[in-house]
Every structure is written in C-alpha cells, then in structure tokens.
Structure 1
Amino acid sequence: MDTRSIQTNSVLTLKEIYGPGRIFNPRTSFQPLRWVQVDYDLAHLDFYTGRELVVAGDMPVLCSQAVATDVVIKLLKEAGLEMASERYVYSTAEEYREMLRKLSKRNEKIVLQYLHPPGELNEKSYWIQPDLLAYLNNKASIDQLVPEENRPFRSVIKPSEIPHQLPIVIKVASDEPAAGGDGVVICRTEEDLRYACQMFKDAESVVVEEFLPIVRNYCVQFVVTAKGEILYIGSSEQVVNERGRYMGNWFDRREVPEEVILTGRKIIERAKMLGYVGVAGFDIVITQEGHCYVLDLNFRLNSSSVVLLLRDQIEEVYGAKGMHLRSWKIQCDFDRMIRVVRQKMEKGRLIPLSIYDPKASPYRDAQGYLSGLLLGDSREDVDHLNEQLILEGIGY
C-alpha cells in the first residue's frame, strides 16, 4: 500500500473561509430547477454533496448518506484525505427538507451554494442573502461586474427577440441557479438556434453573446474570507466540449496570463464591496487574437475548487506534472470500482475525491459516481490512464 498522505490540516478549509458557526450546504433544492443539471438524475445531484467534504475541516456539511458510507470514508482516508468531522446526513427529499426546517428553527446560518425556491428555507437562515446571490450569479450582471474591455459583445433581450444569425451563444439571464453548462446553448446551425429558442421561450430574458474563437479556457478562482481578505487560490484549464458542456479540468504549471488573473481580481473586489464572502470561480478565456474575455461568473465553489485548495499538498506529495480532474458514471459493479481505484491509488496515479455509493441510495436504479484526480508525467500520460479506466469499466 502506498503510504503517501496529503496533510489536509495545512490546507485552507471551508471553516477558515466562511468562519465559525456556519453550516455548508452544497445541495440544490429537490424542487425542479430549470437551469441546474436538467438532464441528470437525483442520484447525480446527491453525488455533488460529497465534493467539498475533504476540505471542510471543522465546518459542518449537509450531505447525502450515499457519499459518506463506511466504504467511501475508508477509501478517502487511504488516499490521505480527511472527511468533514461533522455531517448532517439525509437520504430522501423529505429528510432533506425536514433537516432544513430543523436548522431554520434553530436559527442556524447556512452557506448555500444554490438558491432554493421561496418558502423552502427561511431567508434569515441564508448566511449570504439570497438577493445578493441571485444578482451575482445572474448572467445579465456581467455587464456591471466585469470591466468593459473584458466583456464580449453581448446584449440582454427577450427570448422573442433572439436574432437569426450564426454563430452565436445564447444564455439564460435568470436569478434561478444555473450550473455545469445548463442554460447555455452554442448555436452553430439553424437546428441549434431552433433548440435554443424552444429551450428559452419561457425565460424572462436571455443574453445573446458573440461566438469567440477560444484557444485557452480558464476557471480563475478567488476567496473572500469572513475576515475580509481576498485570496487568489489558483486557476485551472477547463475542458469543454463543442456543445459547451463541462468535461473536467487540467492542473499543471503552464503559465496563466497575468491579465486573466488581474481581471478576476477586479471582479472579486467589486463583489466584496457588495458584501460577498466565500469562493468564486470565473470562466475567463483567451481568444485567437490574444484578447481576454469573461464568459461566466460562479459565486460558489466550483468543480475544481477542492483541487486548487489541495494542490500544493498534492504536488508536494506526488510530484505529478499532469493532473486532470474528472468525474465518471460507474459502469461496472461498485465493489469492482473500489478495487480498481485502490489499485490506481497504490500506484500513485489516482486520488479519489468524492464517491457515490449506490448501495446507500434511496433510488432503485442508481449507479455509482466517482470524482477523482488523475496523475501522470504529462497530459498524454494522464489521457492514457483515463482510457485504461474506461476499459476497466469505471465509466465514461
């Protein structure tokens, strides 16, 4: 067994970011949300509640029981990671809602990553007020939060006013939560345009944005701590498919342009002035002409936030030159997946970060999910490892 261990006690934790006396809730509401993971099942949304457990420190976290089973905790400990010491665990939608009611009655302050529909949680329970969260995450707000020179040509219009021109990018402009590429349609063909018009026909407004020739796509992340400090925690290069769907992140020592980081800092400084506290990730791209543009603002923890918080420790322990964050929907038997992951861990090639155990799921047909960091000497080496995992039935 590989004895390498990531010393998470030296990592910036959620407790240090948000301060004492708060509860972290990464779950979206169980009520249908139009622009959050619209093509995913409930098990997948529960899977996301395990993502930040290894960087929570002493901050209590609300999570699905399927991401905190004995099997999952044991494997993460073998990887040198420590789970949140205090967990509020739910199984079903009703258990989740009952937990919110109890926390609200106790006047607990909850750090939500996604706004919940009115009436589901007392507004006094939000640590960051819902109107601020809604404003900061609304794609229309980029016009006020991002410097003009770093905004692509864009306009906020009614869905009925969508122009018939190609190529363009259409995004919903809403106070409702959006994530993972939902609520965004890249229109290259007439068929794409018809699909976007149908998808957004009931939205109050949409953003129509110029299509950019992108060569580098970064998720640039900052923290505003409860003490008022602004910290740059790092950037990762995002993998996005031709439909605009998020496919993971690369972490290596390729230099991030200074303009990208400075642009992100200007945004987080404006958000701090408005009262925001917490992690924020900005999608900032470089075009073929070398221009720097901001495409999206996410005032919450992002998929790659955990790795950025752990990155220094991971690089010190493993010395990997190529690191790729990925998620898989498990295709093989869950027990086999655990054996394969443990084997790759022992070789120093994979660090599991979050696991969804379908045996603890309330959903009859639930599959397992895995999020992990692939490690190698180069990006090509890491890509080869991912191909091996797929052949072994881990997922796709």
Structure 2
Amino acid sequence: MKNKQRIEPTLTLSDLYGTDIVYTSRPSYASNPWLAIAEHQCNFSTGRELIIAGRIPVIVHKASVTNKLITLFNPVGIEKPTNILKFEDQTTYEQLIKKLAYENGKKIYFQYAHESDFLENIHYALDKDVLIALNNKSRLPEWTGHKYLPKRESVTVENLEKSLSNWEFPFVLKPGGDLPTAGGYGVMICHNNKELIKAKQAISKASHMTNTLIIEQKIEAVANYSVQYAYSKKEGIRYLGATEQLTDQYGYYKGNHNAHDVPDKVIQAGREIMENGAKNGYFGIAGFDFLVDTNHDIYAIDLNFRQNGSTSMLLLDSFFHDGYHKFYNYISSSDNEHFFKIVLKYVQKGVLFPIAYYDGDWFSSKTVKSRFCGVWHGSNKNDIERIEQEFLNDLQSK
C-alpha cells in the first residue's frame, strides 16, 4: 500500500448500478462447451469484485468469504465486505436468484447470460438480448463500426472445411454463436495441421450447440491491450485504463500487467466501441482486446461487454506502489494451509495485494484446492518477477 489512510476504489459497482439490483459474476451451471471452466474456478470468480462492489449486494460462494479472506484483507486495510448473498452449490445458487427475482422483485445484473428456462428476461437489470448480442463474436464488426478488423470470415460448421481451403496457417478459429466465452476458452490458434485437427475435434463436440464459426487472421502482435471503460447514464463514458494481457501461444489467459504509454488511437478505438454499446442499451464495465502489430496497425480481436480479470486492478490503482502491477491467479498444489500461509506472508510484506481467496478447506467432505488472485506491485518489473519467483519457491517448499 502507498500509505495507511483509507483509500477507496476510483469507481464502484454501486456507482454504476445503484443499490437496488443484485450482481452475480458466476456463469450459469448449464453446460457450455466454450466456457469449460471448472466449477470451483467459477465459484472462485464470484469473490473477485467484492472490493470494488461498494454498496451493491453481490452473490458470492461461501468458500470465497471465509475468515481466511478477512485475514488477508486486514494487512491492507480492507474492511470485511457486508453486502453479500451467499450460496454453496447449484441448487442454492439457483434458489437464491429465483427468490430474489420472483419473491423480492429484484433485478439481477448478470456477468454472463443464463439459459432462458432459468429466469425470464424481465428480471435482468441489463437487457439479456443486449448482453448476448454485444458479446457475440460474429457481430464484432457491427460494434466496431466495421473498423479495426483483422481478416475474418463467418462460416457454418458444415462449410468450415471448404472455407479453410482458402486460408494458410497460422489462423484462429472462434465460436460465433450466442454462448459466452472467457479466458481464451473457445479461441483455437492453429499453426499447423496437428493443431487444426485438435480444433476440429473441439468443434465437433460443440456442434450441437454452435453452428457458426469465425476464421480469423492471426496477427503477429507486438502489444496486446485490454482497454477498459465504464458507462452509466449518470457517469457517462469513463476510461478506466488499460492493461497488457499475458497469454500463451494458444491464446489462453495468463494474467495482466499495467500498461504505460498506451497509443491514443487504441484508447479512442475503444471509446468508439463503448459508445456503440451504450447506444445499443449497454451499461456497466467493458474491456476490449486490441492487438498492435509491427506496422502500428490496431486490431480488435475480442469485445468483452462485462468486467474482466484486471478490472479490479485498474480500479484499485491507488492502493498500490507506483511502478509495476501484475494481476494473477494461483491454485494450491495440495496443502491448502501451506498455500494460505505463503500467500499471507507476501501480503504482509506489502508487495502482494489480495483480491479474492477461495478456501478449499471450507469443503469438509471432499478435497478441494484453494485459489487466490491478487496484484503484485512494486517499483519495477524485474523486482516483482524476482519476488514472485521467491513466492513460487516458497509454495513448493515445506
């Protein structure tokens, strides 16, 4: 932390949504081949916005709000969150939402659209059709104004083979329907035939739920930005900042670090997209992924009209040391107590800021690995990389 005085996020969810609606970041429990995230990872994500929630009620899994979270918050001066509505499994999650909607008359702000037979659209705070449309990868050209686009083609599953005969490696395959994706799941980067065969296998397994695919040029990028904005009628459009995304060679999300000297044209392109979203009924936080190539051309490769992994990092900037910030997730290898002990050690050192903690030991009847996400912060990247390596070594030692 920079100092001991009370610091607030630069913007909270209650600033955007008020306090009469309820927020949930959990994806639906329904099957989705393009969001194949483990149940515990989905539960863990429900605690990620607690610090930036403000006064809005948030639906959170019980394992994400145990005393371990409070212990981690104490060294950084964060008070125990209060506006929490808890669930513990699919049944209690769905019962809670239906009670809030049908009995209490509450509208729910969903991070991800849920299936139609679960809850009627009228109970969505943000219109469900708007949420789905803006996150549909096939419709990305509409929201960019047909600008900032890599070469891309929308095809049916049946015509994929024929269309691919006109493409050379490397290219990217993405689902183009209404099902949500996140964290790089559903993004299939193909450098060769072996990777293409693997992608076709995934497509085949999902063909009963997805009939449209995107073939897209793979950009040789020198920078990968997530540029984030917030919009409400009261606030208007506000630029929240940008991070550089860390991904592996297959496009899977590996965290974010703070971005300096973001090109003005990237920020402006993101603002144009946010304006288009607002004109079509969107309100809330959104993050847009832009690649910049060696020619300084920019390409919009993904539009996430929802909060992102690094949103909390941007809104909590005032809590961190000046310099380098890195957002990342960690999972316990086996010993949850040792995992928590080491996480707490580095939080107490003042170099690791806690965002969320999922307490695997809450599950007394089965073995569940704990999870943690936070922000490393220090004067420069080299120091943080050295400290993070010490952290990883400590996790492996006993």
TM-score between both structures, scaled by the size of structure 1: 0.93
Correspondence for 2:23: 24
Matches of 1:267 and 1:82, distance apart in 2: 36
Amino acid at match of 1:372: G
Correspondence for 2:251: 244
Pair 3,290 (structure 1): closer, same or farther in 2 beyond 3 Å: closer
Matches of 1:155 and 1:3, distance apart in 2: 48
279-288 or 222-231: bigger deviation: 222-231
Matches of 2:56 and 2:375, distance apart in 1: 23
Structure 1's consecutive aligned runs of 4 or more residues displaced over 6 angstroms after TM superposition are: none
Pair 116,6 (structure 1): closer, same or farther in 2 beyond 3 Å: farther
Query: Are 1:60 and 1:84, in contact at CA under 8 Å, matched by a contact in 2?
Result: no
Pair 362,86 (structure 1): closer, same or farther in 2 beyond 3 Å: farther
| Unaligned stretches of 5+ residues in structure 1 | none
Correspondence for 1:326: 328
Amino acid at match of 2:242: S
Query: Are 2:357 and 2:373, in contact at CA under 8 Å, matched by a contact in 1?
Result: yes
Matches of 1:214 and 1:265, distance apart in 2: 21
Quote the RMSD (CA, aligned, Å).
1.8
Aligned length: 387
Correspondence for 1:307: 313
- Give secondary structure in 2 for the equivalent of 1:392: helix
2:189 equivalent among 168, 186, 189 = 186
Correspondence for 1:210: 217
Correspondence for 2:107: 109
Structure 1 residue 379 displacement after superposition: 1.4
Amino acid at match of 1:59: I
Correspondence for 1:139: 137
Asked whether 1:77 is paired with 2:74, we answer: yes
Query: Are 2:287 and 2:306, in contact at CA under 8 Å, matched by a contact in 1?
Result: yes
Q: Which runs of structure 2 are paired with 1:1-396 in the superposition (5 Å)? A: 4-5=3-4, 7-9=6-8, 11-36=10-35, 38=36, 40-105=37-102, 106-162=104-160, 163-164=164-165, 165-201=168-204, 202=207, 203-227=210-234, 229-252=236-259, 254-311=260-317, 313-315=318-320, 318-319=321-322, 321-331=323-333, 333-361=335-363, 364-393=366-395
- Give secondary structure in 2 for the equivalent of 1:55: coil
Matches of 1:83 and 1:349, distance apart in 2: 21
Structure 1 residue 228 displacement after superposition: 5.4
Identity %: 28
372-381 or 60-69: bigger deviation: 372-381
Structure 1 residue 5 displacement after superposition: 4.2
Structure 1 residue 307 displacement after superposition: 0.7
Matches of 2:303 and 2:91, distance apart in 1: 32
Matches of 2:240 and 2:365, distance apart in 1: 37
Matches of 2:246 and 2:4, distance apart in 1: 28
Amino acid at match of 2:373: S
Matches of 1:213 and 1:54, distance apart in 2: 36
Matches of 1:346 and 1:233, distance apart in 2: 28
Matches of 1:292 and 1:308, distance apart in 2: 22
